[in-house]
Structure 1
Amino acid sequence: MAIISIVFPLLFMAVLGYILTTRSVFSKEQIGGISLFTFYLCIPAFLFINMYQADLNKSFNINALISFYLPVLVAYGIGFLLFYFVRRGHQQRIGNSAAYGLGCSYSNTILVGLPIIVGALGQEMMGNVFIIITFHSALLFSLTFILALSRNKAEFKAGPFIKGIVFNPIVMSISLGLAFNLLQIPLADNLASGIDLLSQPALACALFVLGANLSFYKIAKDWKLAIMASLVKLIFLPALVYALGSMFRLEANLLAVLVLLSASPLGINAYLVAMQVQAQQAVIASTVVLSTALCVFTMSFWLSVLL
């Protein structure tokens, strides 16, 4: 399959969202409404119905989990140390290094990774995708909060944080789909058709919203830090996943899923976490923009290697 045939439709939707928003066809409030519809209805419906229909016997693979999450933690650690030594001599806070580590390791699995995997490998790989990404946000966000707020325990409230993770629409929809699948709970045909209809615009809306949101962020003065984080995120991390997955002799399509997920650009949620811990918001926002723009080229490279 030609790489351009996979990348172009995704790029088209993101660029369309960016252009229409910068030209004020859609306001920030209107994009906010589309975002709510997308992330609280369409994407959860998409994740639930695909997890419900997934063949779990072919999805769970402990070597695949190690091949994805070990490199993610390594990239986080490298980002943490990289920021610490680059900014040595400046006023240093663990929170700054923790936020930068998140910027080097957190992938936009839903808005970018998922559409590319569907386009390149088809719907049959969805079960593998969901098993991999179920703990993605919980792991990296928890690590960042714990490190960033370790010196001020009064700022970290475990209850609201755990509630936010458990009741996150992404986590809930995948968990419910998994439970219904494992327990073999039947869905009424009309209900299943309704959920399927609601799920259909999920990927297109997600890409449109991604492009629109990029128009709200600007490249900060610390663009060198953003470039370093983008290189770790888009090149080093997927290369490490590829090497470890190859060492475990993972099946080709499964290896492709892992690499493409890890090669996705930095997700916008990392910026929200940086705001919560009040650390490196400008750098993380710049990394979101840069890594998303650069991933057009790096994703094309990884697709050419994997397919």
Structure 2
Amino acid sequence: MFLDVLYGVLPLFFVMLIGYGASHAPKFPASVEPALNVFVFYVALPALLYKVVARADISEGVPLAFLWISIVSALLFALLSWLAFRYLLRANRARALAGMLTTSFGNVSYLGIPIILGVMGTEAGFAAGMGQLVHNIIFMVGFPILAQILLPNGKGGQHPASAARIARTIRNALACSPVTWAMVIGGTVAILGVPVPRPVDDTVDLISAAAAPGALFVIGMSLKRTIDRSRARKHAPVAPDGSAAGGSWARTSIAAMVLGKLVAMPLLTVAMLLVFAPDLDRIWFNAAVLMAAMPVSATAYIMAQNDTGDGEPTAVAIVITCVLSVIALPVLAQLVLK
């Protein structure tokens, strides 16, 4: 299992390395990354999710155990992370929120889906799609709302929470998400048996083929920006509270983020699966574990910076977890995957 997952994961990380290398070339200026990101998120990734859901056997639906364990394990680990940062590491509310997000929110879309498909094949596409949807809803909806409540006048420039702002957050994360609509349309096609003209299917195949390499290439390009930010922060003056990247608090928090994301969160998910759903089908079991084990999401930096004003430790954790996951994922697979 270790070698199977390693061989499945390595090509994906090689594409990321190619993207990182390309980000240093004059032919790939900084403006390329946002354009590629828009294409992947709004075109290629929805096409891939539509394809795997529309062609999946969803006659048995989604196992209830997969849903509730994925939800509860993510929420429970987020709560434990908040308590650890707030009371063990004695972080203020903003830092504790950023630490909670970083430790809990993995790159389930751009990396999780390609890895699950690469390791278990296209038959795991429906499980991968549902797994990323669960994690994205929890953190892309829950975190901004929590930040509005806990940090009404925080560093990120928030305003007090209101019903309108909360409703707008939910709308933007769900109703306005092309990923959500892709899965809804794909599910409708699969359930109702809607005939899809071959030219349409072929077009979807062409576009969806760009999703995995495009997403991984974008991740690689974004690493350069993340590393550059971290280097600049490292040479910045250290504030009295140690907020600069070189401060002792930042080093401790980054270590907690890395160990929490790559080790503690997947192990908590495994423990809950073994206790409450030991007979869960291997595809759904493995999908739940792998989604929990993804390295820190690149989106986590944007959210942490915008909502708490302190995203630099998150940026460093993104780079470290991406690098370490090349080994962490195969080891996890060898130890716990079915």
Whether TM exceeds 0.5 here: the answer is: yes
The answer as to whether partners of 2:261 and 2:296 remain within 8 angstroms in 1 is yes
Which aligned pairs between 1:211-290 and structure 2 lie closer than 5 A?
Answer: 211-218=220-227, 219=230, 220-221=245-246, 222-247=250-275, 248-249=277-278, 250-290=280-320
3-state SS of paired residue (1:215): helix
CA RMSD of aligned residues (A): 1.9
Structure 1 counterpart of 2:199, from 184, 190, 215 = 190
* Shift in alpha-carbon separation, 1:38–1:141, aligned structure 2, 3 A: closer
Unaligned runs of 5+ in 2: 153-158, 231-244
Cα distance in structure 1, aligned partners of 2:116 and 2:214: 16
The structural deviation recorded for 1:279 is 3.7
* Shift in alpha-carbon separation, 1:70–1:159, aligned structure 2, 3 A: closer
Is 2:97 the partner of 1:98? yes
* Shift in alpha-carbon separation, 1:47–1:96, aligned structure 2, 3 A: same
Cα distance in structure 1, aligned partners of 2:79 and 2:167: 26
The structural deviation recorded for 1:268 is 1.0
Cα distance in structure 1, aligned partners of 2:120 and 2:47: 21
Which aligned pairs between 1:167-182 and structure 2 lie closer than 5 A?
Answer: 167-182=176-191
Matched with 2:149 is: 150
Structure 2 counterpart of 1:200, from 187, 206, 209 = 209
3-state SS of paired residue (2:194): coil
Matched with 1:19 is: 21
Matched with 1:82 is: 84
The answer as to whether partners of 1:223 and 1:286 remain within 8 angstroms in 2 is no
The structural deviation recorded for 1:135 is 3.0
The structural deviation recorded for 1:261 is 1.0
The structural deviation recorded for 1:254 is 2.2
The structural deviation recorded for 1:81 is 1.0
**CA shift digits 1:164-216 (9 cap, x unpaired):** 11211222212221233223322222111111111111101111111110110
Structure 1 range deviating more: 64-73 or 9-18: 64-73
Unaligned runs of 5+ in 1: none
Corresponding pairs, count: 304
> Letter of the aligned partner of 1:236 in structure 2?
A
Cα distance in structure 2, aligned partners of 1:171 and 1:8: 29
> Letter of the aligned partner of 1:21 in structure 2?
S
Matched with 2:168 is: 160
Matched with 1:115 is: 114
The answer as to whether partners of 1:79 and 1:100 remain within 8 angstroms in 2 is yes
Is 2:302 the partner of 1:296? no
**CA shift digits 1:136-175 (9 cap, x unpaired):** 2222233222222115263551243122112112222122
The structural deviation recorded for 1:43 is 0.7
> Letter of the aligned partner of 1:145 in structure 2?
P
Cα distance in structure 1, aligned partners of 2:166 and 2:72: 25
> Letter of the aligned partner of 2:95 in structure 1?
N
Structure 1 range deviating more: 53-62 or 205-214: 53-62
The structural deviation recorded for 1:289 is 1.4
The structural deviation recorded for 1:269 is 1.3
Give the 4+ runs in structure 1 shifted more than 6 A: none
Cα distance in structure 1, aligned partners of 2:316 and 2:124: 32
TM-score (norm 1): 0.92
The answer as to whether partners of 1:59 and 1:128 remain within 8 angstroms in 2 is no
Structure 2 counterpart of 1:73, from 52, 72, 75 = 75
The structural deviation recorded for 1:252 is 2.5
Cα distance in structure 2, aligned partners of 1:223 and 1:217: 16
TM-score (norm 2): 0.84
The structural deviation recorded for 1:23 is 4.0
Give the percent of matched residue pairs that are identical in Structure 1 and Structure 2: 24
Matched with 2:38 is: 36
> Letter of the aligned partner of 1:196 in structure 2?
D
Cα distance in structure 2, aligned partners of 1:226 and 1:57: 43
3-state SS of paired residue (2:23): helix
Cα distance in structure 1, aligned partners of 2:283 and 2:47: 25
The structural deviation recorded for 1:73 is 1.2
> Letter of the aligned partner of 1:168 in structure 2?
S
The structural deviation recorded for 1:66 is 2.3
